[in-house]
Amino acid sequence: MTAANKLGIAIMTSGGDSAGMNPAVKCAADYAAQSGYIPYLVYDGLRGLVADSIHLASRELLSGMMHKGGTLLRSSRSPEFFDIEVRRKAYENLKARGIGRLIVIGGDGSFRALNQFHSDFQIPFAGIPATIDNDIAGTDYCLGVDTALNVIRQSIDSIRDTASSFSRAFVVEVMGRHCGYLALTSALTCGAEICLIPEVEYNLDSIGARISAEISEGRSYIIAVVAEGTKMAEYVTRYINDSIGMEARLTVLGHVQRGGSPTVYDRMMAYQFAIAAVDALKAGETSSIMVYRDGTYGRVPIAEVANRKYRMDTALLKLAAPLAC
Ligand code: F6P
């Protein structure tokens, strides 16, 4: 196949960054080239698509990516993409380079934007789920989650050292937007005594009675993991301090959870999702999202992701109950 009749595929990252985006970009570009396409990289997310920040995926641009956290292509949240004239500019930029397909690595908001773009200009796209929140419907896993969980695990292990040394309670607020997946998984794997997430009802009075009984039996410190979506972290800290009577401190982990070198698991997932995305476009799919469900890789139409709400596994949610009462 000569360069002239090859087809361009542009690869971009969009929305909140997460570890695993860089390996996904590299694997998608390499595999697209092996499959006879010409891979391009879009810098700065949707904004870069409009501003024509589009570059041929050269060896130089693709090197040194696998171990880097965040996204080397950078990202943006760009409300201006709602404007059809702005989207037309993006289309003209792609057309000028012979780019007829897109791979977008990001969240469901980015997938919806690309779906609108496809309806407008018939540019097929494949979506790779990437967000530390793990809140995209249709898939059990989103890129970046394992790395974020390991950052949280390391932080809580460290906090435990000082909590036990000073006989204090620590409330650790973790990210996840409206989803409690990060908080619950961290609480279970770090041995927290308390966990509050938006999906599970909690009762502070019964938590207080349980913890007070444990204190009288010899418990000397407490770890409570609270999902940001509950907006309860400060309140719980005051409650433990004032009502349970144990000196309490609040640690908000914040954006540290979004950074860090991707774990081996995230690199492998990036690899699998990237190959699936190129294969989906090769097979003529126009708007599909890559998913990992019940241990199997697959793809679903955008509607299955965009029109549904993510629901956490009920068996996992059951494990939260003893930590919330
Ligand atoms: O969606 C990822 C996420 O990190 C959420 O967990 C968090 O609520 C939000 O993004 C923070 O957004 P920003 O980076 O715009 O402050």
Nearest Cα neighbor of 186 from 18, 324, 320 is 320
Which atom of ligand 1 is the closest one to the Cα of 77? 15
pTM: 0.96
Task: Kindly report the average pLDDT of the chain as a whole number.
Answer: 96
229 Cβ below 6 A of ligand 1: no
Residue with tokens 């972290």: 233
Query: Which strands make up the sheet holding 222-227, listed edge to edge?
Result: 194-196, 222-227, 169-174, 248-252
pLDDT at 85 over 90: yes
Fold type of domain 146-258: Rossmann fold (3.40.50)
Contact call for residues 182 and 176 (beta carbons, < 8 A): yes
Any idea where the domains of the chain sit in the sequence?
A: 3-144+262-309, 146-258
Q: Which residue puts its alpha carbon closest to atom 8 of ligand 1? A: 177
Residue pLDDT, tens place only, 170-229: 999 999 999 999 999 999 999 999 999 999 999 999 999 999 999 999 999 999 999 999
- CA 15 – ligand 1 centroid, Å: 9
Query: How far is 289 from 320, CA to CA, in rounded Å?
Result: 30
Tell me if 133 CB under 6 Å of ligand 1: yes
Q: Looking at the predicted structure, is the pLDDT value of residue 283 above 60? A: yes
Q: Does the C-beta of 6 come closer than 6 Å to ligand 1?
A: no
Ligand 1: residue of 21, 108, 175, 255 to mutate (most ligand atoms within 8 A of CB) is: 175
Q: pLDDT digit string (tens) for 146-159?
A: 999 999 999 999 99
Contacts of residue 42, Cβ cutoff 8 Å, sequence gap at least 6: 10, 11, 12, 48, 49, 53, 54, 73
Q: Band of the pLDDT at 5, cuts 50, 70, 90?
A: very low
Give the residue with greater pLDDT, 318 vs 2. Answer: 318
pLDDT (tens digit per residue) in 292-324: 999 999 999 999 999 999 999 999 999 999 999
| Of residues 60 and 3, more confidently modeled | 60
**Over 90: is that where the pLDDT of 6 sits?**
no
- Look up residue 84 and give its DSSP letter: H
Give residue 172 CA to ligand 1 midpoint distance, Å.
16
Instruction: Examine domains 3-144+262-309 and 146-258 and report if their fold is the same.
Output: yes
What are the residue numbers of the active site? 133
- Of all protein residues, whose CA lies closest to atom 2 belonging to ligand 1? 16
**Is residue 1 pLDDT above 60, yes or no?**
no
Task: Give residue 16 CA to ligand 1 midpoint distance, Å.
Answer: 6
Is the domain covering 3-144+262-309 a CATH 3.40.50.450 domain? yes
What pLDDT is stored for residue 3 in this prediction?
36
Burial 245-262 (b: 16+ CB within 10 A, else e): ebebbbbebeeebbebeb
Q: Tell me if 258 CB under 6 Å of ligand 1.
A: yes
Q: How far apart are CA 203 and CA 325, in angstroms?
A: 5
Residue 58 has pLDDT above 50, yes or no: yes
* Distance from the first to the final alpha carbon of the chain: 64
Residue 185: exposure state from Cβ atoms within 10 A (0-12, 13-18, ≥19): buried
Please identify, by atom number, the ligand 1 atom nearest to the C-alpha of residue 177: 8
**How confident is the model at residue 226, as a pLDDT?**
98
pLDDT tens by residue, 97-147: 999 999 999 999 999 999 999 999 999 999 999 999 999 999 999 999 999
Residue-level pLDDT at 76: 86
Nearest CA to ligand 1 atom 10: 16
**Ligand 1 atom index nearest CA of 132:** 2
Question: Which whole number is the average pLDDT over 29-54?
Answer: 97
Residue 208 Cα to ligand 1 midpoint, Å, equals: 31
**Exposed, middle or buried, 33 (CB in 10 Å: 0-12/13-18/19+)?**
middle
Q: Which atom of ligand 1 is nearest to the CA of 255?
A: 4
